[in-house]
């Protein structure tokens, strides 16, 4: 036995159980799908259809100038809905800028969820009400927040799990690394969901990482990595539910990579035809998350044409209500600019507020 063996180095963790399966986990279309809860599946279907309609409506609102920008999650709705459904009410969701739909699926008001993208205030909802952190525009910076919140909850003895969402591009950021490392060292009740949608704006995954998969990154931190078909909502839900349960029971964090595809451009400001072929988009259309679930439901006679129509009509009503509310011009108070910078405004801010108030009064009189 060498000095190294005796005093310096001992393997701490067997990496084998942490490694992701070679193929993304699937449920719909497999024999196991027959055992899935029918009520849950139909709930998922309704949420997916509504989510797709929400994405279409929000995209249309950008064209009408009602939204400054909308990063659509069309094609990725299964991940968005599954993330929300995997959590208990006391848990926390940490969404990225593309995850409006996950916030809505968790109960955030559809209009309030769009406040940031509307050009109204940055966060339209109270994060504590539904335990949804503000949508994070900087990449991966919300992940350490999720770890800290979960850590704090555990210190207090509260039964809380944090689920943090990030894209494939975000996994290259330093905060991704630091968050996963902290979570693993502290054994925090956190689930990291990477939606690998193929592109970080225009940069494909092959230019983003040399890792065998993004789920493989988990092993280096000492947490399990799970690979799942991100367009199979039952599979994403099962994997996330298992990871959430594991975190809740004290089993520590999990990294889940969901393989999905962004059907729309990055935002309305992006031209996706410059970096990807139509054929690729068409190929993914066949693996659309709604179509995949619809096939599985029809196979089990859980869905018929009438139910499809009813679901679509329900989504249409949601879209009409959203459209109507978004067509109202928001009334903003310019004095709010100074209201929430500090608990007590500084003398400098009080002076500036007085200046703006005088300008507004002069404006009103002219």
Residues 68-97 binding other proteins (CB under 8 A) are: none
Q: Is 134 in the site for other proteins (CB under 8 A)?
A: yes
Q: Based on CB atoms, which residue is closest to other proteins, 178 or 242?
A: 178
The one catalytic residue in 56, 187, 216, 275 is 275
Q: Is 220 in the site for other proteins (CB under 8 A)?
A: no
CA–centroid distance for 134 within its chain: 11
* Contacting residue, 305, 340, 362, 364, with other proteins by CB under 8 A: 340
Write down the least CB distance from residue 173 to other proteins, Å. 9
Round to whole Å and give the CA distance between 264 and 274. Answer: 13
* Contacting residue, 346, 356, 357, 358, with other proteins by CB under 8 A: 346
Residues 154-173 binding other proteins (CB under 8 A) are: 155-156, 162
Q: CA distances (Å), 207 to each of 74, 79, 169, 317, 337, in order?
A: 23, 23, 10, 42, 41
Write down the least CB distance from residue 318 to other proteins, Å. 26
Catalytic-residue membership of 266: yes
Looking up tokens 């997916």 gives 48
Q: Is 18 in the site for other proteins (CB under 8 A)?
A: no
* Contacting residue, 37, 90, 121, 360, with other proteins by CB under 8 A: 121
Q: Based on CB atoms, which residue is closest to other proteins, 320 or 341?
A: 341
Q: CA distances (Å), 358 to each of 332, 348, 354, in order?
A: 17, 16, 6
Residues 175-194 binding other proteins (CB under 8 A) are: 175, 177-179, 181-182, 185
Only segment of 32-40, 241-249, 281-289, 335-343 that touches other proteins (CB under 8 A): 335-343
Catalytic-residue membership of 262: yes
Only segment of 144-152, 259-267, 271-279, 320-328 that touches other proteins (CB under 8 A): 144-152
Round to whole Å and give the CA distance between 234 and 230. Answer: 9
Write down the least CB distance from residue 85 to other proteins, Å. 23
Write down the least CB distance from residue 254 to other proteins, Å. 18
Write down the least CB distance from residue 115 to other proteins, Å. 10
* Contacting residue, 38, 40, 152, 320, with other proteins by CB under 8 A: 152
Write down the least CB distance from residue 351 to other proteins, Å. 9
* Contacting residue, 277, 282, 286, 336, with other proteins by CB under 8 A: 336
A 10 A CB-CB count for 273 gives 10
* Contacting residue, 341, 354, 355, 358, with other proteins by CB under 8 A: 341
Residues 279, 233, 73, 139: is their CA dihedral positive or negative? negative
CA–centroid distance for 278 within its chain: 26
Q: Is 339 in the site for other proteins (CB under 8 A)?
A: yes
Write down the least CB distance from residue 158 to other proteins, Å. 8
Q: Based on CB atoms, which residue is closest to other proteins, 12 or 340?
A: 340
Contact 168, 198 (CB under 8 A): yes
Write down the least CB distance from residue 345 to other proteins, Å. 9
Q: Is 347 in the site for other proteins (CB under 8 A)?
A: yes
Q: CA distances (Å), 131 to each of 41, 60, 110, 162, 246, in order?
A: 24, 28, 15, 9, 20
Which residues form the catalytic set? Answer: 262, 266, 275
Binding site for other proteins (CB under 8 A): 121-123, 126-128, 133-134, 138, 141, 143-153, 155-156, 162, 174-175, 177-179, 181-182, 185, 336, 339-343, 346-348
């Amino acid at each position: 036995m060498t000095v190294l063996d005796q005093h310096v180095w001992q393997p701490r963790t067997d990496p084998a159980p942490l490694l992701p399966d070679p193929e993304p986990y699937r449920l719909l279309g497999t024999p196991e799908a027959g055992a899935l809860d029918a009520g849950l599946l139909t709930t998922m279907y309704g949420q997916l259809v509504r989510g797709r309609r929400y994405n279409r409506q929000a995209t249309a609102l950008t064209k009408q100038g009602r939204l400054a920008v909308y990063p659509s999650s069309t094609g990725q709705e299964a991940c968005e809905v599954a993330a929300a459904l995997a959590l208990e009410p006391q848990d926390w969701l940490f969404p990225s800028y593309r995850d409006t739909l996950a916030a809505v699926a968790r109960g955030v008001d559809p209009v309030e969820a769009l406040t940031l993208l509307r050009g109204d205030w940055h966060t339209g909802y109270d994060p504590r009400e539904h335990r949804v952190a503000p949508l994070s525009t900087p990449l991966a910076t919300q992940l350490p927040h999720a770890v800290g919140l979960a850590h704090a909850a555990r210190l207090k003895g509260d039964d809380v799990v944090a689920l943090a969402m990030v894209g494939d591009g975000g996994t290259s950021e330093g905060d991704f690394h630091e968050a996963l490392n902290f979570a693993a060292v502290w054994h925090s009740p956190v689930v990291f969901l990477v939606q690998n949608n193929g592109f970080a704006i225009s940069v494909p995954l092959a230019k983003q990482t040399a890792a065998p998969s993004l789920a493989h990154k988990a092993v280096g931190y000492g947490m399990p990595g799970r690979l799942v078909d991100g367009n199979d909502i039952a599979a994403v839900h099962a994997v996330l539910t298992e990871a959430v349960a594991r975190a809740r029971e004290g089993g520590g964090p999990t990294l889940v990579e969901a393989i999905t595809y962004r059907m729309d451009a990055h935002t309305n400001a992006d031209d996706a035809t410059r970096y990807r072929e139509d054929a690729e988009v068409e190929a993914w259309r066949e693996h659309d998350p709604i179509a995949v679930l619809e096939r599985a439901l029809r196979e089990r006679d859980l869905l018929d044409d009438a139910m499809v129509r009813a679901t679509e009509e329900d989504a249409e009503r949601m879209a009409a209500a959203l459209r109507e509310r978004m067509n109202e011009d928001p009334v903003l108070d310019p004095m709010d600019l100074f209201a929430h910078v500090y608990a007590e405004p500084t003398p400098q801010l009080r002076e500036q507020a007085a200046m703006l108030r005088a300008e507004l009064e002069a404006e009103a009189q002219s």
